[in-house]
Amino acid sequence: MWDYTDKVKDYFFNPKNTGVLEDANAVGEVGSISCGDALRLMLKVDPDTDVILDARFQTFGCGSAIASSSALTELIKGKTLDEALKITNQDIAEFLGGLPPEKMHCSVMGAEALHAAIANYRGEDWADDHEEGALVCKCFAIDSALIEKVARENHLSTVEEITFYTKAGGGCQSCHEQIEDILAAVNGSAPLPVVAAKPAAKAAPAPMTMVQKIQKISAVIDEMRPQFQMDGGNIELVDVDGDTVMVAMSGSCMNCQSSGITISGIQERLMLTLGRPVRVVPASMPQAVGA
Amino acid sequence: MSSAYMDNNATTRVDPRVLETILPYFSEYYGNPSSMHSFGGDVGKRLEEARASVQALLGVEHDSEIIFTSCGTESDNTAILSALAIQPSRREIITSVVEHPAILSLCDHLERHEGYKVHYIPVDRLGRISMEAYAAALSEQVAIVSMMYANNETGTIFPVETMARMAKEKGALFHTDAVQAVGKIVLNMQESAIDMLSLSGHKLHAPKGIGALYVRRGTRYRPMLRGGHQERGRRAGTENTTGIIALGLAADMALEHMEYENTVVRALRDRLEAGILAQVPYAFANGDPEHRLPNTSSISFEYIEGEAILMLLSRVGIAASSGSACTSGSLEPSHVLRAMDIPYTAAHGTIRFSLSRETTEAEVDWVIAQTPPIVEQLRRLSPYWGANGPILTDNAFAPVYA
């Protein structure tokens, strides 16, 4: 059995806000019965103030899916739609005292249902940015889609590189064989795409402009740079694409066994500063002339 | 509070008599059976007695046909790798789509990294093997056929004797993973065409960490573990003395209870299944009703998810297991249910109840009383369930992505 927190168990055994909300004016539905989990989120929004007066859910899924749905309804009640949109899947997981890595997708489903419901209320189209891939690294919850993407974009060929770039395989190491298989498939087959596809724009407006965001990210990295220099290395911001922050590490940082941990440290700092989830991905610097 | 242990296909309780018997071999007679001194006590003799007990349970002609291993998985791996090693010119393997991962993962590895061709024989909606596909796959190229005796999730029994005879005609070796069958089905290997058979101690009230492989005399064999002289050089490594002695006694007891398993346990299983199905709509039993282990019941509850059912069952003291994705961390329901083409509406909500000779009528009645309200409670939460039953058909719930 999973090692669920007491709060997850409590929200599963005694879920709050279940059932149909008869006078709902915002409904978000995500998932499917074939995927093994599905959620219908129903909201009653005050048209004058945009405040969520009531929220209920119906969920088909495992214990943590039901608990996450219930937690979501508790988190959003009384908030305005704009306030609610700031809630991320991490907030749902945190509210529950954490979820096992394999179960984080339950909190993602909750956040998606919320975005879908708000889009429904505002008459917008909602496109999910659901990345489906088999879970490979159970220690760090990294799926095959991300490993494949990073391997392709950065021309990676060894498990060690994958671990440096994504953390996958850096824990118990039992997934190394699966990572090798992904690398073999990536390097043995399709040619690398010339232009990387841009992800679809989010339906919800970002609370800060791109320039503001990049400035904030730069500041955090500048702030952390002395630590890297102390260890004989350096770090540079390469690019920001949506919630993906690409950084280049140089010097001894690059070969350091703990670079995966360093990356997650930067990621945590950035999430704290920006107040939203970001993913930090190592990338290579554009080739320096005469290096 | 009442409780009910209904997960005996996962593992069984060590029989108290077995436990009591082996304890002195930890504390007093702890010597290595290979040593010359007497700290081993009579342990060497006890190992041979245990071998004779397993021999009797399987109906084996010679006790030297039994090799003790660490588990069913080791037995499975040893059997297949040995069969391939002795027949280098035969480059094909036949198995079924519903095997235990101990077989499937190995076959997948051999296919992808060693260049073997593996035939995966499909099953039908009741989990029955396709004999047509099997006959078509058999050829002089096949080194080994490995077919489970009985399925761990549904209890469906394969016609392994017939399949073994068919393999023999093509000169292929036949192995069966009988981990779930041993102790529940009368076996007589003397009269059998099966060349190798795997069993595991902890499925029949011995501890975890002991298994055995039967290898018919005259079958060429290559060990997987090399090192010492133990098991006549066919499985090196200091003997798991306590495990072997335990397995011997457990085998004696399994033989004594064979009739009980097939009468009393079967009746309890039938009572459990009928009791639940009579109360719960949109639920059905899986597997081949004609050929099924006496202790296993796999029930699909439509429109709800298995892990949620297990958590609520666990809260009222009921231990069962599921073929659901969410208990294993994968996104798909079990390979067995998918191979049987169980609809997705039901595969995610499939629960396996597995009984043993220790199961009581009171436990069965507790499960019959507790399960229906749990299913009802989860269905009330489900977006696929309305006041009058499922609402999937009229497209009332069609999420953004599917």
SS3 B279: helix
CATH number at residue B72: 3.40.640.10
**What is the pLDDT confidence band of residue A262, given thresholds at 50, 70 and 90?**
low
Q: Is residue B86 part of a domain?
A: yes
| Distance between CA atoms of residues B394 and B338, nearest Å | 25
Q: How far apart are CA B234 and CA B232, in angstroms?
A: 5
Q: Which residue has the higher pLDDT, A218 or B109?
A: B109
Residue of B nearest to A36 (CA): B348
* Model pLDDT, residue A266: 76
Chain A contacts to B (CB-CB under 8 A): 1-2, 9, 12-13, 15, 18-19, 28-40, 58-63, 65-66, 102, 116, 126, 128, 130, 132, 134-135, 138, 181
Residue B59 region by backbone torsions, left for phi larger than 0, else alpha for psi between -120 and 50, else beta = left
Q: Which domain holds residue B203?
A: 16-256
Q: Which CATH class is domain A131-197?
A: mainly alpha
Q: Is the pLDDT of residue A166 over 90?
A: no
CATH number at residue B348: 3.90.1150.10
| pLDDT of B245 above 50 | yes
Query: Which DSSP string do the residues of B56-67 spell out, in sequence order?
Result: HHHT-S-GGGEE
Under 8 Å CB-to-CB from B319, ≥6 apart: which residues? B3, B4, B5, B6, B7, B313
For tokens 């009910």, name the residue: B4
A31-85 tens-digit pLDDT: 877 777 899 999 999 999 999 999 999 999 999 999 999 999 999 999 999 999 9
If asked whether residues B157 and B132 sit together in one domain, one would say: yes
Split at pLDDT 50, 70, 90, the class of A131 is: low
Residue B173: pLDDT over 60: yes
Q: Å from A3 to nearest chain B CA?
A: 11
- Is B246 among the domain residues? yes
Instruction: Looking at the structure, tell me whether residues B79 and B154 fall in a common domain.
Output: yes
- Cβ contacts of B309 on chain A, cutoff 8 Å: none
Q: How far is CA B75 from each of CA B168, B221, B223, B293, rounded to the nearest angstrom?
A: 21, 13, 11, 22
A6-122 maps to CATH 3.90.1010.10: yes
Residue A243 confidence (pLDDT): 78
Distance CA A108, CA A90 (A): 8
Query: In whole angstroms, how far apart are CA A254 and each of A179, A247, A250, A257?
Result: 20, 11, 5, 8
For A275-290, write each residue's pLDDT tens digit. 677 778 777 665 444 4
Query: What pLDDT score was predicted for residue B53?
Result: 98
> B15 φ, ψ to 5°?
-60, 135
Q: Which residue of B has its CA nearest to A39?
A: B383
Q: What is the pLDDT of residues A194-214, one digit of tens each?
A: 343 344 443 444 457 778 888
The verdict on B264 and B240 lying in the same domain is no
- List the catalytic residues of B: 326
Q: How many CB atoms lie within 10 A of CB A261?
A: 11
The residue of chain B with its CA nearest to that of A32 is: B402
Q: Is the pLDDT of residue B170 over 60?
A: yes
Q: How many CB atoms lie within 10 A of CB A194?
A: 5
Between A68-77, A173-182, B268-277, the lowest mean confidence (pLDDT) is in A173-182
A vs B: CB pairs below 8 A:
106
Tell me what the mean pLDDT of segment B86-93 comes to.
97
Whether B397 maps to a domain, the answer reads: no
Confidence of residue A232 (pLDDT cuts 50, 70, 90): low
- Into how many domains does chain B fold? 2
Quick one: B149 and B228 in the same domain? yes
Tens of pLDDT, residue by residue over B290-347, are 999 999 999 999 999 999 999 999 999 999 998 765 555 555 688 999 999 998 889 8
Fold classification of A205-286 is GMP Synthetase; Chain A, domain 3 (3.30.300)
Domain boundaries, chain A: 6-122, 131-197, 205-286
Do A62 and B330 count as a contact with CB atoms less than 8 A apart? no
B391 is a domain residue:
no
Largest CA distance in chain A: 69
How many C-beta neighbours within 10 Å does residue A285 have? 14
Same domain, B210 and B337: no
Catalytic annotation on A35? yes
Measured between alpha carbons, how far is B198 from B74 in angstroms, rounded to an integer? Answer: 9
Q: How far is the C-alpha of A276 from the C-alpha of A278, rounded, in Å?
A: 6
Torsion angle of the four alpha carbons B51, B56, B59, B60, in this order, in degrees rounded to the nearest 10: 30
On whether both B246 and B299 belong to a single domain, the answer is no
Q: Of the candidates B74, B83, B69, B82, which has an alpha carbon nearest to the alpha carbon of residue B235? A: B69
Assess whether B109 and B144 both reside in one domain: yes
Locus of tokens 């003397």: B190
